[in-house]
Structure 1
Amino acid sequence: MTEYVKISDAEGVRTIAFSRTDKKNALTREMYDAAANALNGAQNDPEIRVVLFAGEGDSFTAGNDLNDFLEHPPFSEDGPSPVERFMTALMEAKKPVVAAVGGLSVGIGVTMLLHCDLVYASRMATFSTPFVKLALAPEFASSITMPAVMGCAKAAEMLLLGEKLSAEEAERAGLVARVFADEELIEQATARCRKLAKLAPGAVADAKTLLRAPAEDLAARMQREGKLFNERLGSDEFKEAAGAFFERREPDFSKFG
């Protein structure tokens, strides 16, 4: 564990906050390791329904700490490095992952967002991926995920030219779901996480699986959805939802893990 990653749990939400404010939350191996452990731990904790990433101070994260990475290359042939563990944990997360981006977001601070389910930003947020500017290559599968989200032209501006996006531009490009006033960001993002945490966890997981599934033709996807829909109709979660509807009360999914 490291003091630069703060973890807190409340109302079904695990918040993982980057807290190296004097370095604009630049990530080190130890920070990646702590974030990976917290994210993996959330998957096995029935009390945690949603994970929220945030950054303290005026930055989400300035990306990788270059001095740390020059000393310890992020990828290893001797087994998964902390960076690889974090990337794998985020890509394979079964529970919803939300990001609240306030201020500077660079490199991994952008590419990780492409693997989150919901991204919210403050008006002061900026987004850049200056890999080629640093004579490096794109990472975290961003050469696939970024064009899929915002189209090849805008992705090329970011990945080739290292162009910076404002919060409003990121929202128009589809990287960000919604932009809030700076002072409202964490409150608004947390409220949406808590709303997610109150929903039926099995249904949420199925919806996330469908949203993240590889592309397929419409007929195949319709069949996949139909199979899950039928399974949902027989689930205890649906029985609770239907009962609540007829009894004119709010459903209680807290007993479902």
Structure 2
Amino acid sequence: MRASQQDFENAVNQVKLLKKDPGNQVKLQLYALYKQATDGPCNMPKPGVFDPVNKAKWEAWNVLGSLPKETARQNYVDLVSSLSPSSEASSKGKSRANEKVHESQDIVVTSEDGITKIMFNRPSKKNAITSEMYQDIMLALKNASTDNSAITVFTGAGDYYCSGNDITNFTRVHGGMEEVAKKGPETLREFVSTFIDFPKPLVAVVNGPAIGIPVALLGLFDAVYASDRATFHTPFTSLGQCSEACSSYTFPKIMGSAKAAEMLLFGKKLTAREACAQGLITEVFPDSTFEKEIWTRLKAYAKLPQNSLRISKQLIRKNEKEKLHAVNAEECSTLKEMVLSEEYTNAIKSFLSRKSKL
């Protein structure tokens, strides 16, 4: 859920009570998010070079572009929460978040060499995502957005990167399909929004086959590196579903409408080489040297100036955030309607029947 106006006002008051100076970089972020949350996009003329303090404030605010007020408000609250252990409510909330992420066996979060790594860790289930893992990933991303790392990396344990949704998510919900139709799209919208709003460079290290939502999400990553044994498959229509994670917008933009249609409408599976040729991924590496080559590269990237990385990403992404949030909302609204259809129910039953025979 988005932060309320009261949450925002409480966070503003918490800043005044900070006992430790958070540093100029953080103070600039707080200023920019506050202005964006209250006034909207930067509407002031740029100060001259002889006014460096106000020039730095202007640049921090201006780089947020058309970021929605409610998103800026949420980001402000999250940032203050990470700085305010003295606030009982904030401290408890943050403690619960860290505890849940670190206790999770299915999502493993580590941070070293300037890199926060978020790893799918259900190798026996091809790293299929459970409902609990959705929550763990969102918490991990919120923590990573304000930690000391320069970049955040997703990868998978074992042979698979991620095989998409654990279909039992839809069969374990109490209340039938009506409850699935209500809760599923709401969670999905919040989940995808976390990726859209993530402020640091986001990298996917695709170590093996990827299916469904982890593929759809790749359009929201800043770089995607893959082993040559990876494959990319989006079988949404075969399950009676529609495109998700903004792929209905990002895929045609990245690879052109015809190639995107083959994946999103007809479920064509791409090899890593094909995905690279179509622009979906950044580079392919031989599987035998993949881990060594990619982590050596990422450690070098993580040594780049952190504020410069954040600002550069904001400049690249700022004109699309509003569009991406709108696409995400439309996809989730459409999915909500489709989940209640007979076609969807039959497709899920057929899939579960095939799985039980394997």
TM-score (norm 2): 0.56
1-side partners of 2:316 and 2:266: how far apart?
29
Task: Decide whether the 8 Å contact of 1:75 with 1:84 is kept in 2.
Answer: no
1-side partners of 2:181 and 2:263: how far apart?
23
Q: Rate the CA distance shift 1:75–1:60 in 2: closer, same or farther, 3 A.
A: farther
Q: Rate the CA distance shift 1:95–1:161 in 2: closer, same or farther, 3 A.
A: same
Gaps of 5+ in 1: 216-257
1:15 — aligned with what? 117
Partner secondary structure for residue 182 of structure 1: coil
2:284 — aligned with what? 179
1:214: how far off?
2.8
Identical residues among aligned pairs (%): 38
Partner secondary structure for residue 161 of structure 2: strand
1:255 — aligned with what? none
2-side partners of 1:77 and 1:17: how far apart?
25
Partner secondary structure for residue 37 of structure 1: helix
1-side partners of 2:228 and 2:278: how far apart?
15
Which one of the candidate residues 154, 158, 162 is aligned to 1:61? 162
Greater helix content: 2
2-side partners of 1:205 and 1:107: how far apart?
28
Which one of the candidate residues 128, 131, 153 is aligned to 2:258? 153
Q: Rate the CA distance shift 1:188–1:60 in 2: closer, same or farther, 3 A.
A: same
1:128: how far off?
0.7
2-side partners of 1:24 and 1:108: how far apart?
14
State the structure with more CA Rg.
2
Task: Decide whether the 8 Å contact of 2:232 with 2:271 is kept in 1.
Answer: yes
Which one of the candidate residues 238, 253, 270 is aligned to 1:165? 270
1-side partners of 2:161 and 2:151: how far apart?
19
1:103 — aligned with what? 208
1:213: how far off?
3.1
Gaps of 5+ in 2: 1-99, 174-178, 321-358
Cα RMSD between the aligned structures? 1.9
1:87 — aligned with what? 192
Greater strand content: 1
Task: Decide whether the 8 Å contact of 2:150 with 2:309 is kept in 1.
Answer: no
Alpha-carbon displacement from aligned partner over 1:174-231 (angstroms, at most 9, x marks no partner): 011111111332333322322222112222122212222336xxxxxxxxxxxxxxxx
2:142 — aligned with what? 40
2:8 — aligned with what? none
1:226 — aligned with what? none
2-side partners of 1:88 and 1:75: how far apart?
19
Task: Decide whether the 8 Å contact of 1:74 with 1:84 is kept in 2.
Answer: no
1:40: how far off?
0.9
2:153 — aligned with what? 52
TM-score (norm 1): 0.78
Q: Runs ≥4 in structure 1, deviation > 6 angstroms?
A: none
